[in-house]
Amino acid sequence: MMDRYWTWIAAAIATLLLTGIAKAGEADPAVLDDDWHMVAFAVAGDEEDREMVPIFSIRVNEEGTAEGIAACNRWNAEADFFADGRVRFKDFSQTRSVCRFNDIVARTMDARYTDHLRNQDMDYKIEDDQLILEFDDGERWTFQVIEQDATEPAPN
């Protein structure tokens, strides 16, 4: 009888632990449910951030879908959040409009932006009302909430 009691207790504890571990892996995407626009970025080796025209954005909806703009194009994806403070965008798609920017940094950042979002996991944190995304290659992007719709691309 006592063995059955301890077996039941062990099973109950294991179930609680496994449930807690599963829930720990679920981050709350609502924290990014706003129009976050890139205002600065840094590549590996940069000591200071470079300012960025806010034409790149991210918004993660409570359902876990992500959307935003990449210069002149819209993009969308599914967002997977992990308990270790990382996020991955999967099933990434985007429009393919041609942008005519005079700003060389904005033009080169367009391809880099979508490539990083599409192909890499990233660390994310919110610090001083800024969203900071950091990639394994040393790149860091800084976003702020700006009163502008994150799903409307910049005009050509």
* Complete domains list, the chain, with CATH: 27-145 (2.40.128.270)
Give the number of other CB atoms < 10 A from CB of residue 42.
16
Per DSSP, the residues of 78-117 read EEEEETTTEEEEEEEEE--PPP--S-HHHHHHHHHHHHHH
Give the separation between CA 35 and CA 127, rounded to whole angstroms. 16
77 pLDDT band, cuts 50/70/90, is very high
Q: What is the DSSP letter of 65?
A: E
CB 69 within 8 A of CB 121: no
What's this model's pTM, rounded to 2 decimal places? 0.71
100 pLDDT higher than 50: yes
Closest of 27, 28, 30, 38 to residue 150, by C-alpha = 38
> What does the pLDDT average to over 2-31?
42
15 pLDDT higher than 50: no
Residue type, 24: A
Give the separation between CA 91 and CA 98, rounded to whole angstroms. 22
Tokens standing for residue 133: 């995304």
